């Protein structure tokens, strides 16, 4: 009772039953149509001989079209209903599609629920390809079947057929293929989103290549991409959102290096990967620009938040380096000091400030190189150094503001010279 192997066996049996039903249709429907076409040609020749002899025709016999309509088409319909039920299990909510349960109606609840559940992704993908091939066979057969219809003036049962007897079956097959391919998109993007989220959370990697691979695979496998446009658009947005959430989680409780790493990942995607992603989306949907805009907003939102936090951190760090302790020293400034006096050496606060700017530059250069920030068109390095310099200036101004009431003339002259040096 605790063994669940029977569940996997049931799902496998459903996929095999679908494939078998498709094989029967693909093998025998064209052959039956060939027989019907031959019978139709023989019927025409027989009718021509009767007309030439001027003899009366015998009692009305069923035409090949009527035989196909009464005997073959219902069987084909039942086979397609069986294939659709085995392949889909049940119709999606709100689809308006009617899936007939062809067997297992009186089975136990657990088995009945398993029969009506969707197939796993791998089996669903395999079944979808088979059903797509079946729809092609039905389309070709429907065209051939139109040739069997009685011509005006020929004897018939009196019914007027405006549609091919296989049109309803073909519609059901088409709906089944669309449903499976939509599920295929949902499965693919869900797996991709979970994988990307895991890599972003664990190692801080924005894996846009995984999304690119997913789109290329779907582009190759989907037979009706225009019917799956909504799933493709939502799936792309989901993957990007999960990547951004994962990166935000990775950076949380980490320092500036992690923030810069996240910014570098976003910058790489924005500058190099989004172009390829947009091109692949364009193969699957006509709404690629709107999807790209939504994804860019998410990525730029994360990049902006991370880089702003980094800039705030370096601004604060640079400002804290500006400690003008010499202004508080009790020194007799009326005496002339020699030029080589230690107290007149290079100011420590300027050394610390310049080192803070150099360190900031090294951090940004290591993480981002010469990358340009989108859409400002200015390099990250330039923005970071400018922010660090602003922090230094703000720190110095704050120190001077605190002591401006006690500042001596000579101290003011020295500060003016040092500020000029810093500006230069």
Residue 59: which pLDDT band, with cuts at 50, 70 and 90? low
What 3-state class would DSSP assign to 53?
helix
DSSP 384-414: HHHHHHHHHHHHHHHHHHHHTTT--HHHHHH
DSSP 173-234: HHHHHHHHHHHHHHHHHHHHHHHHHHHHHHH----HHHHHHHHHHHHHH-S-GGGGHHHHHH
Structure tokens at 123: 């089996």
Q: What is the CA radius of gyration of the chain?
A: 38
Digit-coded pLDDT (tens) for 219-247:
998 988 999 999 999 999 999 999 999 99
DSSP 31-46: HHHHHHHHHHHHHHHH
Instruction: Please indicate whether residue 353 or residue 109 has the higher confidence score (pLDDT).
Output: 109
What percentage of the chain has pLDDT greater than the value 90?
Answer: 42
- The predicted model gives 394-403 an average pLDDT of 77
Q: How far is CA 193 from CA 46, 189, 243, 262, 380, in A?
A: 66, 6, 7, 18, 29
Helix or strand holding residue 378 (H, E) = strand 378-379
- Residue 249's pLDDT is 93
In the numeric block, the tokens 């679908």 are attached to 18
pLDDT mean across residues, the chain: 83
Residue 338: which pLDDT band, with cuts at 50, 70 and 90? very low
- Residue 55's pLDDT is 56
- The predicted model gives 271-299 an average pLDDT of 92
Is 299:240 a contact under the CB 8 Å cutoff?
Answer: yes
- The predicted model gives 241-254 an average pLDDT of 91
Residue 21: which pLDDT band, with cuts at 50, 70 and 90? very high
User: Hey, which of 42-51, 180-189, 338-347 has the most confident mean pLDDT?
Assistant: 180-189
End-to-end CA distance of the chain: 83
- Residue 51's pLDDT is 66
- Residue 333's pLDDT is 45
Cα(274)–Cα(62) distance, integer angstroms: 63
Closest CA to 182 of 115, 256, 97, 260: 97
Is 188:239 a contact under the CB 8 Å cutoff?
Answer: no
Is 138:107 a contact under the CB 8 Å cutoff?
Answer: no
Instruction: Please indicate whether residue 68 or residue 245 has the higher confidence score (pLDDT).
Output: 245
Instruction: Please indicate whether residue 9 or residue 160 has the higher confidence score (pLDDT).
Output: 9
Helix or strand holding residue 372 (H, E) = strand 372-373
Is the predicted pLDDT of residue 60 greater than 70, yes or no? no
Cα(337)–Cα(241) distance, integer angstroms: 65
- The predicted model gives 19-35 an average pLDDT of 92
Query: DSSP assignment, residue 95?
Result: S
Cα(382)–Cα(180) distance, integer angstroms: 51
What 3-state class would DSSP assign to 246?
helix
- Residue 92's pLDDT is 83
Residue 47: which pLDDT band, with cuts at 50, 70 and 90? confident
Cα(300)–Cα(310) distance, integer angstroms: 15
Cα(349)–Cα(354) distance, integer angstroms: 9
- Residue 52's pLDDT is 65
Helix or strand holding residue 379 (H, E) = strand 378-379
Least reliable range by pLDDT among 16-20, 213-217, 382-386: 382-386
Closest CA to 395 of 371, 419, 414: 419
Closest CA to 216 of 230, 244, 236: 236
Closest CA to 374 of 259, 269, 250: 269
Is the predicted pLDDT of residue 73 greater than 60, yes or no? yes
What 3-state class would DSSP assign to 383?
helix
Residue 214: which pLDDT band, with cuts at 50, 70 and 90? very high
- The predicted model gives 320-339 an average pLDDT of 54
Least reliable range by pLDDT among 27-36, 287-296, 346-355: 346-355
- The predicted model gives 368-386 an average pLDDT of 85
User: Hey, which of 60-69, 223-232, 393-402 has the most confident mean pLDDT?
Assistant: 223-232
DSSP 146-169: HTTSPPTTS---S---SS-TTHHH
Residue 256: which pLDDT band, with cuts at 50, 70 and 90? confident
Residue 400: which pLDDT band, with cuts at 50, 70 and 90? confident
Residue 31: which pLDDT band, with cuts at 50, 70 and 90? very high
The residues near 78 (Cβ < 8 Å, ≥ 6 apart) are: 102
Task: Identify any residues that bridge with 378 across adjacent strands, giving them in sequence order.
Answer: 373
What percentage of the chain has pLDDT greater than the value 70?
Answer: 87
């Amino acid at each position: 009772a605790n063994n669940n192997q029977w569940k996997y066996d049931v799902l496998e049996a459903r996929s095999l039953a679908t494939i078998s039903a498709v094989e029967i249709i693909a093998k025998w429907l064209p052959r039956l149509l060939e027989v019907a076409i031959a019978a139709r040609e023989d019927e025409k020749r027989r009718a021509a001989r009767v007309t030439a002899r001027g003899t009366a025709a015998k009692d009305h016999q069923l035409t090949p079209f009527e035989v196909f309509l009464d005997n073959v088409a219902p069987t084909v319909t039942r086979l397609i209903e069986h294939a659709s039920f085995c392949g889909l299990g049940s119709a999606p909510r709100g689809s308006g599609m009617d899936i007939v349960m062809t067997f297992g109606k009186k089975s136990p609840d657990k088995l009945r629920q398993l029969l009506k559940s969707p197939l796993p992704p791998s089996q669903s993908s395999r079944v979808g390809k088979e059903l797509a091939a079946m729809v092609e066979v039905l389309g070709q057969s429907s065209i051939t079947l139109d040739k069997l219809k009685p011509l005006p003036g020929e004897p018939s049962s009196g019914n007027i057929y405006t549609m091919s007897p296989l049109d309803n079956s073909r519609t059901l097959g088409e709906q089944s293929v669309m449903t499976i391919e939509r599920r295929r998109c949902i499965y693919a993007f869900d797996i991709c989103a979970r994988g990307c989220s895991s890599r972003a959370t664990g190692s801080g990697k924005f894996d846009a290549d995984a999304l690119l691979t997913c789109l290329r695979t779907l582009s190759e496998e989907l037979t009706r991409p225009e019917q799956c446009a909504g799933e493709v658009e939502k799936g792309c947005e989901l993957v990007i959102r999960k990547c951004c959430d994962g990166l935000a989680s990775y950076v949380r409780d980490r320092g500036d290096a992690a923030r810069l790493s996240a910014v570098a990942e976003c910058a790489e995607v924005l500058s190099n990967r989004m172009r390829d992603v947009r091109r692949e989306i364009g193969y699957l949907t006509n709404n690629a620009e709107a999807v790209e805009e939504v994804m860019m907003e998410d990525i730029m939102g994360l990049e902006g938040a991370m880089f702003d936090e980094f800039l705030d951190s370096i601004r604060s760090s640079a400002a804290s380096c500006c400690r003008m302790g010499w202004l508080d020293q009790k020194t007799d400034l009326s005496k002339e000091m020699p030029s080589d006096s230690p107290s007149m050496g290079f100011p420590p606060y300027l050394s610390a400030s310049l080192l803070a700017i150099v360190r900031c530059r090294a951090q940004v250069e290591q993480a981002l190189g010469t990358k340009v920030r989108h859409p400002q068109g200015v390099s990250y390095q330039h923005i970071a150094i400018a922010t660090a310099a602003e922090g230094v200036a703000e720190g110095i101004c704050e120190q001077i503001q605190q002591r401006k009431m006690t500042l001596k003339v000579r101290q003011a002259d020295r500060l003016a010279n040092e500020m000029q040096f810093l500006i230069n």
